[in-house]
Amino acid sequence: MLVYFIRRLINVVAMLLVVSAVTFGIFFMVPKLTGSDPALLYVGKIADKAAVEGIRHKMGLDKSIVEQYFLFLKGLFAGRDYSTGVDVTHCAAPCFGYSFKTEQEVWPVLLDRLGVTASLAAGASVLWLVFGTLAGVVSALRRRSLLDRFAMTTALAGVSLPIYFTGMLASAIFVYQLGWFPHDYVELGVDPLMWFQNLVLPWITLAFLYAATYARLTRATLLDVLGEDYIRTARAKGLTERTVIGKHAMRSTLTPILTVFGMDLGGLIGGAVLTETTFNFRGLGYEAVAAISASDLPVIMGVTLFAGFFIILANLLVDVLYAVVDPRVRLA
């Protein structure tokens, strides 16, 4: 198991380097291809040539691409000195630079937004994993029954309806008309009860979208597993139906569910863009939308690295859980 984990960890490091290279390309290469200048975006269009050149030197844009990339990597791990000719001094590690619009350091801003996104993703993921998987199991065991048809119809509605529609509809009814839930996000440390009340509706709305996928996936996978020879053998041995389903069938059913769950959770922690925008939560997704609208490249770069890191971390977690669920994976 330790060797398996080390191999996967090496793959994670390699993927992080690839993500950093792609992010570097977005930040430094794409503006050149589109004819824009990151230094000019930083100082503004009315700045004189000397100011633009000073910012270009500070950002390292006057160096070769290879030197820029190594400075970029160094800044991620050790911070970066920006004291040459400018009013800022040092960007703490990891360093994503300073926002072009607010001139604030990007890293603390993203850390501040991460709490909102993590709260949203954690609660919703528990709901959709539990209720989606449970609905899929019940549908598979009661195939073609009225309960099965109702669950799959509800799942189809959940997949088909976009989050901004269900979110806005839920907010209009339960927040503004009935007044059951507050509409201003409150930090967990400030008021835990208000924090919970404020997140209940986004959790349910987001879980409704994702639970539909898990219900359909669980139902289809479990039906396939129940037709396998080892399931018939387990029943022939006289094992109870609960043991057959819980110990044998569900173990094989969990593999594709873990795959989808890891990708969904990693993507959400990287920024639930539509949900945060719909409910006006200032998380990573909200920050990304604002940065794209303002062409704030350092913030876009920071959110991209954040999202890539969490997706890769989620994949590592899924790989480890694979080895726990199915020991054969360790030999792969």
Q: How far apart are CA 25 and CA 72, in angstroms?
A: 11
* Three-class SS state of 325: helix
Q: How far apart are CA 99 and CA 249, in angstroms?
A: 51
pLDDT over 70 at 77, yes or no: no
Q: How far apart are CA 33 and CA 35, in angstroms?
A: 6
- Chain mean pLDDT for the chain: 76
74 vs 128, residue with greater confidence: 128
pLDDT confidence bin for 84, thresholds 50/70/90: very low
The radius of gyration computed from the CA coordinates of the chain, to the nearest angstrom, equals 24
- State the average pLDDT over residues 222-238: 83
pLDDT tens-digit readout, 141-187: 888 888 888 888 887 777 777 777 888 888 888 878 887 877 777 77
pLDDT over 80 at 98, yes or no: no
pLDDT tens-digit readout, 245-285: 877 788 778 778 888 887 788 777 765 777 887 887 888 88
CB 278 within 8 A of CB 172: no
pLDDT over 60 at 91, yes or no: no
* Residue 104 CB contacts under 8 Å (≥ 6 apart), including other chains: 98
- State the average pLDDT over residues 305-316: 80
Residue-level pLDDT at 87? 43
Q: What angle, rounded to 10 degrees, do the helices at 284-294 and 106-141 form?
A: 120
310 vs 74, residue with greater confidence: 310
CB 145 within 8 A of CB 180: no
CB 164 within 8 A of CB 274: yes
Own/partner contacts of 168-176, CB < 8 Å, gap of 24 or more, are 168/278, 170/201, 170/204, 170/205, 171/201, 171/278, 171/279, 174/201, 175/201
Residue-level pLDDT at 187? 76
pLDDT tens-digit readout, 100-115: 677 677 788 888 888 8
CA angle 289, 294, 295 (to 5 degrees): 95
227 vs 76, residue with greater confidence: 227
Alpha carbon 110 to chain centroid distance? 14
Q: How far apart are CA 122 and CA 128, in angstroms?
A: 10
Q: Is 164 exposed, middle or buried (0-12, 13-18, 19+ CB in 10 A)?
A: middle
Residue with tokens 């604002």: 290
